Structure 1
Amino acid sequence: MTEQNLREALADLVQTGFRSLHTDVPASLTVAEYRSILDEFGFTPAPGYFAGDFHIADKQAAIVEQAKAHAGTLAALGVHSTFVAGNIDMARFANPAVGDNASAERTKQMAETLALLADAGFSEGVRFALHPHIAMIVETEEETRGVLDMTAGSHLGFGPDTGHLLWAGMVPERIIADYADRLVAVHLKDVDPNGFRQTLRYEDDYITAIGTRHIWSEPGRGIVNFDAVFDALPAGFDGWFVVEVDVPNLPTPLESSRASYEFLASHPYFAGATA
């Protein structure tokens, strides 16, 4: 993201009702300059996003240091949680949602690195939350549960994306309920039924699925059971909800953001909340 991208996004979002933005500090800006621009538009920073090759043992030490620096940036902005996802796996990019290249040893290595980086981040005051993602190195239910189970007792939390969970064959509300005590933040994304059917029928790669089939959709417009998702949340949950559609299903990003906000504003779960 560039400063211009940031300003354009904020100029659109300010029209929708949203007042928080996923944290992504452009390389050209200092943390103070970034916060100043958010303040200018009346926004607060929301959780960030960190990725790495957690399955490669030789990269572990460097990844942990990078994660600690990321946490330091977030802490300076007053943000105390961040999503953490693996980097892209090219075999999964071509053949998504089926767990290509999976192995017990790979999952074990990922869990070890994620536990270490989560503990490092926590020392800076930031909670890292595992974010399973299609076409990335933590993709399937087996990997998700494996990493979370192996890291029990560490500071690694859970930061699911409702759309990615469903595409990977999971029942979002079930796995959220199973790890409710680890839940830190949630990405709200829906799955378009027509796009999903075509993606499965034609065995599309990831880019075709999201760019041509428009598999993603704004919350409330697809097949994710959000009533069940919200019911599965722990009582008194006070973590972040971040709307993420990636490629809008509606004609423009502004229309997509407005529809997303309207869904949240009208849902009983969010009655009286701010966005």
Structure 2
Amino acid sequence: MTTTTARPRLAASPLGYVRGSVSQTPLEQLAQAFADLHDIGFTAVRVDVPDGLPLDDYAHWLGIYGLAPAVGIFAATFDGQEELPDILERARRTAAEHTTLGLDRVMLLADPVPARMARPAVGAAHVPGGFARAVDEIGATARVLAGGGLRPLLHPRVSGLVETEAEVVATLETLGPDVIGFGPDTGHLRWAGMDPAVMVARFADRVGAVHLSDVFPDYAQPTRRGRGKGYEQLVGTGRVWAVPGDGVVEFERMLAALPPSFDGDLIVEIARPSWCSVYEAYQRAYEWATPVLAPVLA
């Protein structure tokens, strides 16, 4: 199967259809997601191989729904709870899977940790020594992924150890462009106090894919960021994640910051639709994305 990214394309993450890990979601639930995304008009979906499903079967299954595999994710907490050799072995397996599916890059994500789930988007419990260890482990993982044929892209997210602007910049500058690229998520950057357009412009030559997510203004304000509520409580208010185009992310500015050489996936991500069905949310996002992304996808 040959689907190596050669030019920008619109894709979707099935995250809105699941709670928890996509790879552990029942196949029937993912089948509904794939059927819906195909019906709406998407032609590519973020790679999340279900646990226990042979890779050939997964590829065949995507083909049934007319969906190509888009850039996926490799995740670990990098907080010392998982031994580094185990992380690196998972990275080798991920590289083998993704390259077999025709992909040439992957998002490298620092998964949520308890202190930051409790106080999200503010860099809670930042310990320089612990952060330095996390950066070292991210670098080691990035090198293994690269050795397996994938370009790793740092994918910061709220509640992980690479969350704030200082942490994102420090990780990218410490490891350097030869080790890791940049795969931003617009909503996570915005919630953590960053301007996605500025971050994309700063590391434009390293951006290999982008998650298109959006946030409402309520908790994107610095004075209200995580005050008194944990991640799940805030998300449960329905006033964190917005359908792309309905929140405060300035997508046109972010897209304008991408270099002419950008050839990555632009992946619509909807964490938890707050005002409509999941199908309607993805449909609305697709209808929004088609004209907004046209200059980049042309």
Q: Is the structural similarity TM-score above 0.5?
A: yes
Residue pairs, 1:1-275, within 5 angstroms: 1-56=25-80, 59-194=83-218, 196=220, 200=225, 203-267=228-292, 269-271=293-295, 273=297
Choose 17-26 or 104-113, whichever is displaced more.
104-113
Q: CA deviation at 1:202?
A: 5.2
Rate the CA distance shift 1:5–1:201 in 2: closer, same or farther, 3 A.
closer
Q: Calculate the aligned-residue CA RMSD, in Å.
A: 2.0
- How many angstroms apart in 1 are the aligned matches of 2:192 and 2:220? 11
Choose 235-244 or 104-113, whichever is displaced more.
104-113
Rate the CA distance shift 1:58–1:70 in 2: closer, same or farther, 3 A.
closer
Kindly report structure 1 stretches of 4+ aligned residues shifted beyond 3 Å: 194-203, 271-274
| More RCO (CA 8 Å, sep 6+) | 2
Q: What are the superposed Cα offsets for residues 189-248 of structure 1, whole Å, 9 maximum, x if unpaired?
A: 111124646964853211122122331111111111111101111123111111111101
Rate the CA distance shift 1:57–1:216 in 2: closer, same or farther, 3 A.
closer
Choose 188-197 or 110-119, whichever is displaced more.
188-197
Q: What are the superposed Cα offsets for residues 109-142 of structure 1, whole Å, 9 maximum, x if unpaired?
A: 2222112211211122111111111111211111
8 Å CA contact 1:107, 1:146 repeated in 2: no
SS at structure 2 position matched to 1:242: strand
Q: CA deviation at 1:153?
A: 4.5
8 Å CA contact 1:130, 1:156 repeated in 2: yes
Number of equivalences: 273
Q: What are the superposed Cα offsets for residues 150-189 of structure 1, whole Å, 9 maximum, x if unpaired?
A: 1014331111111110111111111111111111111101
Letter in 1 for 2:201: A
Letter in 1 for 2:216: D
Letter in 1 for 2:70: A
SS at structure 1 position matched to 2:201: helix
Choose 83-92 or 143-152, whichever is displaced more.
83-92
